[in-house]
Amino acid sequence: MFISNEFKVIYNEQFNKEIRENFKLVIDHIIDNIILDKTLFDKTNFELIYYDEFELRTNCNKDIFSTLYLVINQPLNYKTSTKIKTSSKNNIYFPNLYYNLDEFIDSIYLNLISILDNNNIIWKEENSVCLKSTVIENNVITDYYFRVIPCIAYYNSNNIKGLMYKKNNGIEIEYVTKAIENYNKKNKLTNNIYNDTIIIFKNILLKNNNIKSLPKEIIETMLYNVPNNLFIDNSKKTLINIINFLRNNSIKNFKTIDEEDNAFTSIYRSMSLLYVKHIIKIIEKYLTKV
C-alpha cells in the first residue's frame, strides 16, 4: 500500500452529526416562528435537507460547513402570473414569490440572533445565513460552521426534484436526493474505493499545499466521472492511473454527481473548471514525487 493511514483520516463525524441535529432543532423552531403570520404556509410546506462532506462521509477539514437546505414546497407561494418557465434551452427564470428568499434569509438571520448566545457568530451571505459555533469537547475548543440556504423546489424536464436558489446574480440548481443516491451507488460498485480516494486526494491537498478549505463537492464530482474499473485500491499505481484519466479526458464533459447537468461548464452550477485543473496538477505533482 502506498498511502499511509494519515491520508485516510476524516474528522469527528459522529460528534458533528450530534451538533448538526441540535442545530436542526433550532432551525425547526425558527420555521415555526416565521410561519405564524404567513397564511400561505404551514409546517408541511418546508423540508430540511443536509448535503455536504459529512453526508457523503468524505470530510477531512474541521472547518468545513455543514450545509442545510431549507426547501419551500409550496405552489401557492408562487404568484400565478409568473410560474417557473423556460424561454429557451439555457434560460430558466426564477419564480416571483409572495414571500421571497431574500425576506426568508432576513427572517432566519434575525431569528438566529435572537435565539442564540454570544458563543455563536452569525452573518449573512448572498444566498444563505452562516453560523460559527464554538463547542468545548473533552476540554478542547472546536469551531463548527453551518450554512442555511433557503431554496424552492424545482422539477426539471426529467421530473427530477431539484433545489433552486439565487447565486452570483444567477440561478443555482442542485439535485440533492439524486446525487446522494448516485454517490452511494458508485461507492458500492467500487467497494468503497471511490470514497477512500476522495479522502486521500483531499488530505493530499490540505496537507501538502497549505489549502485551508476546498470548494464544496468538487473532489467528489471530479472523481465521480472516473470509470469504476479504475478504482482498484489505494496504491500509488492506481492513484496515478486515476490522475492520468483526469488529465487525458475532457473535464468539460464531466457530469455532476446527480447526472442532471454538466459539472464544470454549467450556467446553473458554480464549480470552477480552472480550479479542478489546478488541483489535479497539485495531486499529480505530489504523487509523482513520493
Buried b (16+ CB within 10 A) or exposed e, 186-225: bbeebeebbbbbbbbbbbbbeeeeeeeebebbbbbbbbbb
The string of DSSP letters for the chain reads --S-GGGG----HHHHHHHHHHHHHHHHHHHHHHGGG-TT--GGGEEEEE-STTTTT----TTPEEEEEEEE--GGGB-TT----EEETTEEPPPPBSS-HHHHHHHHHHHHHHHS-TTEEEEE-SS-EEEEEEEEETTEEEEEEEEEEEEEEEE-TT--EEEEEEETTEEEEE-HHHHHHHHHHHHHHTTTHHHHHHHHHHHHHHHHS------TTHHHHHHHTS-GGG---SSHHHHHHHHHHHHHS-GGGPBPTTSSSBSSS-SS----HHHHHHHHHHHHHHHHH-
CB 270 within 8 A of CB 261: no
CATH 3.30.70.260 describes domain 5-176? no
Q: Which three cell numbers stand for residue 133?
A: 459555533
CB 145 within 8 A of CB 130: yes
How far does CA 48 lie from the centroid of its chain? 14
Domain extents in the chain: 5-176, 180-289
- Residue 222's closest CA among 161, 153, 275, 163? 275
Sign of the dihedral through C-alpha 180, 184, 187, 189: negative
Backbone conformation region of residue 217, classed left if phi is above 0, alpha if psi is from -120 to 50, else beta: left
- Per-residue pLDDT tens, the chain, 290 aa: give them: 456 677 888 876 667 778 888 899 999 999 999 998 888 888 888 999 999 888 898 988 777 888 999 999 887 787 765 444 443 445 677 888 888 899 999 999 999 999 998 889 999 998 999 999 888 877 878 888 999 999 999 888 889 999 999 887 788 999 999 999 999 999 999 999 999 999 999 999 988 766 777 888 999 999 999 999 999 999 989 999 999 999 999 999 999 999 999 999 887 887 888 989 999 999 999 998 86
CB 178 within 8 A of CB 100: no
pLDDT of residue 2: 54
